[in-house]
Structure 1
Amino acid sequence: MKAKISLNPDAVVASALRIVDEQGLAALTVRKVADEFGVTPMALYWHFSNKDALLGAVGDAVIAGLHPPDDDLELEDYLREAMTSLVDAMRAHPNATPLVPSRIMVTETGLELTEKTLDKLGLAGFDTDRAAAVAHYALMIAMTLVTGEPGAETTVKPTERAEAHEAKLALLQSLPEDRYPRVRAAAPAMVDCADSDDYYGSAIDIFVAGVMAQARALV
């Protein structure tokens, strides 16, 4: 066992988040975190009643990285900054991204961002149901972008990515060229993202453009 160090909720969450970052969400166990502090798993239950509570706290830590946009921004710029903030918070901890949807509405930061986004959409003419749908789309798109970034998919273990990417590239480039010339040409970009910032920025621009097109149709 490692030498004991100070055990408190913040330290436990930081340790759990590091494990998730390095090894993936499935690798997180109460015992593994306890080993980081040189204590038994029971010691952690003074701070978190069970693994689900610990997972919730890890999700909250990711959401704490959000930077809500300026309230005075118009809808288009507000949406772009809100989406960028969501993506950036998740990009910092991609393996923990699946925890965000269940925690976004139970943290003050997440609730405030949601409330202000819904307000901006309402002022632009979106009814309550449509505004709620748009807010949900934003969260799901941000999560999907991060967990599915070409070359960094969280569903593939880091140690297995190179082999998986080579196999996927070989499969795509083995397709008949007369039937799938564009798929073959795009294969490298579909397998590995050459410019992550452009990948996220372009996707956010497309989403915002779609919302703004709907907003104009409401006028």
Structure 2
Amino acid sequence: MSDESGLSEWRRRTEVPLFAASGLFLASYAVRVLATDLPQGWRDTCLAVTYAAWALFVVDYVVCWRLSGEGASYVRRHPLDAIVVVLPLLRPLRVVRIYESVQHRRARPRLALHARVIVYSGMSAVLLGFAGALAVYAYERGAPGATIRTFGDSVWWACSTLTTVGYGDVAPVTFMGRTVAVVMMAGGLALLGAVTGSFSSWLIQTFSMDEDSGPPGNTPGARQ
């Protein structure tokens, strides 16, 4: 089995387990942030689940790096995977990889595949927004001069940030909160680009095929 086929097989087999790990990571983190009166034993359990899920992402990255056979250039050629390892809450941004696979299919419009990108992007936006709201709330709720005091405020801020609206009525004031904000802005642009780009690509391919398959009398060189 070649390195490329081995890497593809590994990613195919681990996609569902890693998706489950992402859910566990987010759930355990959410419990630790929102359940402030949780007993210490349960908080320690949630922390252990968070670290275990994080460890799975690290193992996945190392295996992909070894199977790729690219050596040190793997980090440069796959920056998104490295970012996800450092910040697992950004795993929804891997929708960009699906978008790239759509762009390489030129033969005919694949509505199912394009629809998959759009649906996955929407789900990723929800997950990324929820994760960002949790992170900002964790850093901002007790900060002096903070305008994000409740989780509801944080969710409102995340929605306006992901959609690039940015009302400015609430905004993070801490360094870590603003760092999360920058990541959320970039994530919102990436997901929005994946949706609009995929839909536009499908429309262009569809209209191109309609022109190419027009009546015989309208084709160049046809007898008048």
TM-score between both structures, scaled by the size of structure 1? 0.28
Give the TM-score of the pair, scaled to structure 2.
0.27
